[in-house]
Amino acid sequence: MAGERAYTALGDLIEVKHGWPFKSALCFEELTGRPIVINIGNFRYTGGFRFGSTTVREYRGDYPHDYELSPGEILLVMTCQTAGGEILGIPARVPDDGRTYLHNQRLGRVVVRDPGRVDQDYLYWLFLSPSFNRELYLSASGTKILHTAPTRIEAVRVSLPCLGEQRAIAHILGTLDDKIELNRRVSQTLEAMARALFKSWFVDFDPVRAKAEGRDPGLPRHLADLIPSSFEDSQLGPIPAGWGTGSILERATLLSGGTPKTDRASYWGGDIPWVSAKDVSQCGEVFLTGAERTITTLGVEESATQVMPPLSTVVVARGATTGRMALLGREMAMNQTCYALVSTTGTPFALHCQLRQGIHELVHAGHGSVFNTITTSTFNSGRFVLPPGSLHAELERLVSPLFGRILAASEEARALASVRDTLLPRLISGEVRVEQAEHAIGIV
């Protein structure tokens, strides 16, 4: 299937259009069915949108309808707020989910000029290739904030295989991506089940209300016997009789991180993942199973960082993404932008659910002139409903299998992503042929 490749400028194949400057004052997080304004923060660094784990805003003003997007259209990021330009040119496809999406400024809308020469699905993967990102980085303007432009994107020259090979490459990479996305959705469903059970027992108090009203709480006898049948007043309002309130740190140890000296090569590139706020914020998953950077044992021993045990819940403590959190899927160190909470009662998943339920209150209680900042005192002063340890343990027993399946799905997705990311630049460059890739991953 592979043949000679011709070099051509992207501008011969596509046109990249600027977006509209939608007014931030007319954007609202409360969603009432109006069009959604796409922002750079809605993009994953690995491509695609992450609407489920980022802030989504609708627009309640007038706008030119030419800036309404169609399902399947590709948008490219044209501004990066880090000096490395990691997100320049990152693509995402407009979802077909019944909602209307709007083309915001600083995003490039890709219009295919010559569908007889280039496949749109192939373009998506070309835009994700490291070589494309590198070209945009080298031609970008700005220092701390980098900018590219439609003309710079269109000027990039690419090695273009025949249309059939383009479609085959897109199929291979898309198949891997579909498997990753399926794992992600399964994980989201399982986590939602665990959180719903936690909320029913420890927030809405459904079993207690049932017993108070003389109804069957719908639990096995040994669990029903642990449920009180009345409420009592507390500083958080009515809570089940005999339950308490207090800091989440009554059931967890709070650990902080640090950064090994960056000018010591012997501290970096080891086997220990070193988690930053960026890693947690961009995770988009229940479990964090890797980090962008790694450190050595010496780096741990000679710095303020610590190795956190698996199943710790890591929370971003400062910056624009304060309050984002993830469970650690393995031992990891972390920097000073995060805290880790380690269960002291053998209930890491119940602890995670409780923190997820109450994190907004902790963030709002945080301090900071620009962004909220969570501190040790924030955790100490935050008040949570504390059910008896026996009930906490019963919830842990019920949700542990769910989180175990989530972790397995996350590890499989990470392995698939590694294969995809290895094949991507090699398929785009022609180093690996379609037939070789199909054989390697079992696609017929």
Q: How far apart are CA 127 and CA 133, in angstroms?
A: 7
The residues near 204 (Cβ < 8 Å, ≥ 6 apart) are: none
Q: Are 144 and 22 contained in the same domain?
A: yes
> Would 418 be classed as within a structural domain?
yes
Q: How far apart are CA 442 and CA 419, in angstroms?
A: 12
Whether the CB-CB separation of 333 and 281 falls below 8 Å is answered with: no
> Would 141 be classed as within a structural domain?
yes
| CA 211 distance to own-chain centroid | 40
User: Across residues 417-421, what is the average pLDDT?
Assistant: 93
**Final residue of a structural domain among 143, 160, 177:** 160
- Output Rg (C-alpha) for the chain, integer angstroms: 25
**Final residue of a structural domain among 382, 411, 428:** 382
Q: Is it the case that residue 2 has pLDDT exceeding 50?
A: no
SS (H, E, C) the chain: CCCCCEEEEHHHCEEEECCECCCHHHEECCCCCCCEECCHHHECCCCCECHHHCCCEEECCCCCHHHECCCCCEEEECEECCCCCCCCCCEEECCCCCCCEECECCEEEEEECCCCCCCHHHHHHHHHCHHHHHHHHHHCECCCCEECCHHHHHHCEEEECCHHHHHHHHHHHHHHHHHHHHHHHHHHHHHHHHHHHHHHHHCCCHHHHHHHCCCCCCCCHHHHCCCCCCEECCCCCCEECCCEEECHHHCEEEEECCCCCCCCHHHEEEEEEEECHHHHHHHCCCEECCCCEEECHHHHHCCCCCEECCCCEEEECECCCCCCEEEECCCEEECCCEEEEEECCCCHHHHHHHHHHHHHHHHHHCECCCCCECCHHHHHHCCEEECCHHHHHHHHHHHHHHHHHHHHHHHHHHHHHHHHHHHHHHHHHCCCCHHHHHHHHCCC
pTM of the model: 0.85
Q: Are 147 and 87 contained in the same domain?
A: yes
> Would 224 be classed as within a structural domain?
no
- pLDDT at 251 (0 to 100): 95
Q: What is the CATH number of the domain that holds 403?
A: 1.10.287
Q: How far apart are CA 349 and CA 341, in angstroms?
A: 11
Q: Is it the case that residue 365 has pLDDT exceeding 90?
A: no
- What is the number of structural domains in the chain? 3
> Would 229 be classed as within a structural domain?
no
> Would 32 be classed as within a structural domain?
yes
Q: How many CB atoms lie within 10 A of CB 271?
A: 9
pLDDT for 23-61, tens place per residue?
999 999 999 999 999 999 999 888 999 887 788 999 999
Q: Are 132 and 206 contained in the same domain?
A: no
Q: Is it the case that residue 371 has pLDDT exceeding 90?
A: no
Q: Are 307 and 374 contained in the same domain?
A: yes
Mean pLDDT for the chain? Answer: 93
- pLDDT at 444 (0 to 100): 44
* Tokens of residue 307, six digits: 């190795």
Q: Are 105 and 199 contained in the same domain?
A: no
pLDDT for 252-299, tens place per residue?
999 999 999 999 999 999 999 999 998 998 887 899 999 999 999 999
Whether the CB-CB separation of 288 and 326 falls below 8 Å is answered with: yes
Containing structural domain, residue 353: 248-382
* Tokens of residue 112, six digits: 């295919």
Q: Are 344 and 392 contained in the same domain?
A: no
- pLDDT at 368 (0 to 100): 60
Q: Is it the case that residue 370 has pLDDT exceeding 70?
A: no
- pLDDT at 208 (0 to 100): 97
Q: Is it the case that residue 1 has pLDDT exceeding 60?
A: no
Q: What is the CATH number of the domain that holds 259?
A: 3.90.220.20
- Among candidate residues 229, 193, 223, the one with its CA nearest the CA of residue 210: 229
pLDDT for 175-213, tens place per residue?
999 999 999 999 999 999 999 999 999 999 999 999 999
Q: Are 60 and 145 contained in the same domain?
A: yes
Report the amino acid identity of residue 311: L
Q: Are 13 and 124 contained in the same domain?
A: yes
Angstrom CA distances, 120 to 76, 404, 435, stand at 13, 38, 21
User: Across residues 377-389, what is the average pLDDT?
Assistant: 93
> Would 226 be classed as within a structural domain?
no
**Final residue of a structural domain among 382, 410, 434:** 382
Q: Are 370 and 416 contained in the same domain?
A: no
pLDDT band at 125 (very low <50, low <70, confident <90, very high): very high
- pLDDT at 410 (0 to 100): 92
> Would 29 be classed as within a structural domain?
yes
Q: How far apart are CA 395 and CA 403, in angstroms?
A: 12
Q: Are 148 and 189 contained in the same domain?
A: no
- Among candidate residues 310, 316, 351, the one with its CA nearest the CA of residue 332: 310
> Would 425 be classed as within a structural domain?
yes
pLDDT band at 372 (very low <50, low <70, confident <90, very high): confident
Q: Are 289 and 435 contained in the same domain?
A: no
Q: How far apart are CA 130 and CA 80, in angstroms?
A: 15
Q: Are 11 and 136 contained in the same domain?
A: yes
Range scoring the smallest mean pLDDT among 154-158, 328-332, 378-382: 378-382
Torsion angle, alpha carbons of 268, 273, 275, 278, to 10: 80
